Amino acid sequence: MNPESPSTALSLAKRWSSTALQRKKRKSELTSVDSQRT
């Protein structure tokens, strides 16, 4: 087994979760802006 694979998968998961968090935050900000506009 490749000893690097677990850490690589972990870093990939970390990066993906952080990107998803940022996207969710941006989406909520956009939603709040939309609600303020109407």
Give the model confidence (pLDDT) of 2-30 as tens digits.
656 778 888 989 999 999 999 999 999 98
Whole-prediction pTM value?
Answer: 0.54
Which pair of tokens denotes residue 17? 């979760």
What is the pLDDT, as a whole number, of residue 18?
A: 94
Total number of residues shown for the chain: 38
Give me the pLDDT at residue 21, please: 94
- Kindly tell me the sign of the dihedral angle through the C-alpha atoms of 25, 26, 30, 36: positive
